[in-house]
């Protein structure tokens, strides 16, 4: 009996001193999406905190590899000590019908992290990645054709039946109807277990978004503005090393998007308008920045116009300055929003 007591006390001392050997654990938190909204950037920026650990590649256990079993899943995780946080990232979980229930079955206390961005921009980014991966640039139909045209030869979806003029069955469009997917997560997890990251603000003000996520994870924030810089070419945020040099994400991040016809941009904005409102009502989440028009006016080819909530005007001014725009803010007077326009000072 005395021996067991001594052994127990030694174990308590080891735990309190943090010297127990590390081991692989199921994740405390999962970045479940949204695809092409900044999930990779979020995870890489979170690594600033030494207590956050993550596996390398996307695991896709709860959607594609579930039949491999829990021990296989655990083996994909990094080794961690008591007090460290394990995070997994697989953005396809967000629109998976099975993932929420499966994650809850493993651990109902799992913390769920979701990155959202303007769904129009997200769809364009999704299209850009798909065309690049398939090496079909120039062979695939244009974004406009896929979004609002005759896409029957390219999609399983019925392109003759449109929703408000848009091919809502196309995956790049469908994923951006956030409220339909979000409802499944709220059916399985309480709202206090779900943290929403603004993908637009993650680019314009990464320190604030990372700090908020650290707090959600129960950690003391270590991210500061001086930890970040901006890629001078892609204008995408990068981590700043101790020596001041920038450590930027891969070459696929911040890649050039195709120019999209203004009429198609307007059609997509009108399509997503009511869908976005349902998402806001469902989550009580402050709207992300809504890019409505990257100006293609031949008289002003380098202009950019963005529609945003009033409270974000100052934050967006900083974004414009960081991205080398002269800023001109004018009140739009419609639904209490501003139209902020600016011309790039140089390319």
Pick from 14, 18, 20, 45: nearest CA to 222: 45
Domains 19-118+181-247 and 295-347 share a fold: no
When mean pLDDT is compared over 66-80, 164-178, 297-311, the highest value belongs to: 66-80
Span 124-134, average pLDDT: 82
Give CA–CA dist 292/289, Å, rounded.
Answer: 9
94 in Cβ contact with 34 (< 8 Å)? yes
Residue 129 pLDDT class (50, 70, 90 cuts): confident
35 in Cβ contact with 175 (< 8 Å)? yes
Give CA–CA dist 14/322, Å, rounded.
Answer: 48
Give CA–CA dist 46/40, Å, rounded.
Answer: 10
Span 112-134, average pLDDT: 89
**Is 257 labeled as ligand-binding?**
yes
Reply yes or no on whether the pLDDT at 7 is more than 60: no
Residue 329 pLDDT class (50, 70, 90 cuts): very low
Alpha-helical segments (H) within 18-137: 39-46, 70-75, 99-106, 119-133
Span 36-59, average pLDDT: 96
From the candidates 24, 35, 36, 245, which is the catalytic residue?
A: 36
pLDDT tens digits, one per residue of 271-313:
999 999 999 989 877 554 443 333 334 444 444 444 544 445 5
Q: What is the pLDDT of residue 6?
A: 54
**Is 164 labeled as ligand-binding?**
no
Q: How far is CA 13 from the centre of its chain?
A: 40
Q: What is the pLDDT of residue 290?
A: 43
Sign of the torsion angle spanned by Cα atoms 234, 235, 239, 243: positive
Match 């303007």 to its residue by tokens.
118
Residue 265 pLDDT class (50, 70, 90 cuts): very high
Reply yes or no on whether the pLDDT at 163 is more than 60: yes
Mean pLDDT over the full length of the chain? 81
Reply yes or no on whether the pLDDT at 267 is more than 80: yes
Reply yes or no on whether the pLDDT at 314 is more than 60: no
Residue 97 pLDDT class (50, 70, 90 cuts): very high
Which CATH number, 3.40.50.1260, 3.90.1010.10, 3.20.20.100, 3.40.50.300, labels domain 19-118+181-247? 3.40.50.300
Span 177-187, average pLDDT: 97
Q: Tokens representing 324?
A: 């080398």
**Is 171 labeled as ligand-binding?**
no
Reply yes or no on whether the pLDDT at 172 is more than 50: yes
Q: What is the pLDDT of residue 234?
A: 84
Reply yes or no on whether the pLDDT at 96 is more than 80: yes
**Is 125 labeled as ligand-binding?**
yes
**Is 37 labeled as ligand-binding?**
yes
Lowest mean pLDDT of 36-50, 66-80, 130-144, 279-293, name the range.
279-293
Residue 343 designated active-site? no
266 sits in which H/E element = helix 262-283
Query: What dotted CATH number matches 295-347?
Result: 3.30.1070
**Is 218 labeled as ligand-binding?**
no
Span 112-123, average pLDDT: 96
**Is 38 labeled as ligand-binding?**
yes
Reply yes or no on whether the pLDDT at 175 is more than 80: yes
pLDDT tens digits, one per residue of 195-251:
999 999 999 999 999 999 999 999 999 999 999 999 988 888 999 998 889 999 876
Give CA–CA dist 260/280, Å, rounded.
Answer: 26
DSSP summary character for residue 163: B
Reply yes or no on whether the pLDDT at 87 is more than 50: yes
Residue 75 pLDDT class (50, 70, 90 cuts): very high
**Is 39 labeled as ligand-binding?**
yes
Give CA–CA dist 198/315, Å, rounded.
Answer: 13
Q: What is the pLDDT of residue 138?
A: 55
Reply yes or no on whether the pLDDT at 74 is more than 70: yes
Domain boundaries, the chain: 19-118+181-247, 295-347
Q: How many CA atoms lie within 13 A of 108 on its CB side?
A: 4
**Is 56 labeled as ligand-binding?**
no
257 in Cβ contact with 246 (< 8 Å)? no
Q: What is the pLDDT of residue 242?
A: 86
81 in Cβ contact with 49 (< 8 Å)? no
Span 38-43, average pLDDT: 96
DSSP string, 238-257: EEE-TTS-EE---TTTTPPP
Q: What is the pLDDT of residue 116?
A: 96
Percentage above 70 pLDDT, the chain: 70
Residues near 17 by beta carbon (within 8 Å), at least 6 away in sequence: none
Span 60-75, average pLDDT: 98
Per the DSSP assignment, residues forming a β-bridge with 89 are: 31
CA separation (Å) from 75 to 133, 202, 260? 29, 31, 44
**Is 256 labeled as ligand-binding?**
yes
Give CA–CA dist 327/340, Å, rounded.
Answer: 7
């Amino acid at each position: 009996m005395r021996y067991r007591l001594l052994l127990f006390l030694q174990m308590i001392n080891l735990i309190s001193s943090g010297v127990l050997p590390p081991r692989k654990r199921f994740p405390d938190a999962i970045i479940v999406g949204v695809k092409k909204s900044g999930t990779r950037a979020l995870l890489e920026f979170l690594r600033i905190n030494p207590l956050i650990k993550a596996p390398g590649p996307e695991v896709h256990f709860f959607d594609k590899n579930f039949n491999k079993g829990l021990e296989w899943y655990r083996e994909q995780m990094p080794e961690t000590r008591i007090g460290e946080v394990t995070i997994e990232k697989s953005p396809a979980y967000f629109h998976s019908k099975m993932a929420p229930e499966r994650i809850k079955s493993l651990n109902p206390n799992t913390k769920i992290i979701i990155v959202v961005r303007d769904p129009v921009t997200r769809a364009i980014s999704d299209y850009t990645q798909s065309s690049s991966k398939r090496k079909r640039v120039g062979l695939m139909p244009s974004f406009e054709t896929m979004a609002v045209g005759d896409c029957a030869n390219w999609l399983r979806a019925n392109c003759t039946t449109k929703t408000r003029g848009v091919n809502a069955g196309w995956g790049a469009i469908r994923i951006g109807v956030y409220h339909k997917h979000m409802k499944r997560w709220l059916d399985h997890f309480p709202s206090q277990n779900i943290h929403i990251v603004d993908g637009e603000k993650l680019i314009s003000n990464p320190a604030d978004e990372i700090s908020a996520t650290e707090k959600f994870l129960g950690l003391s924030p270590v991210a500061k503005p001086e930890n970040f810089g901006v890629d001078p070419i892609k204008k995408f945020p990068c981590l700043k090393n101790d020596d001041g040099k920038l450590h930027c994400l891969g070459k696929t991040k911040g890649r050039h998007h195709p120019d999209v016809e203004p009429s198609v941009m307007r059609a997509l904005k009108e399509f997503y308008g009511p869908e976005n409102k349902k998402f806001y009502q469902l989550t009580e989440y402050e709207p992300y920045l809504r890019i409505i028009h990257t100006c293609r006016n031949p008289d002003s080819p380098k202009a950019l116009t963005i529609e945003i909530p009033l409270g974000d005007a100052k934050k967006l001014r900083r974004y414009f300055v960081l991205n080398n725009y002269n800023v001109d803010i004018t009140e739009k007077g419609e639904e209490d929003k501003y139209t902020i326009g600016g011309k790039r000072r140089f390319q």
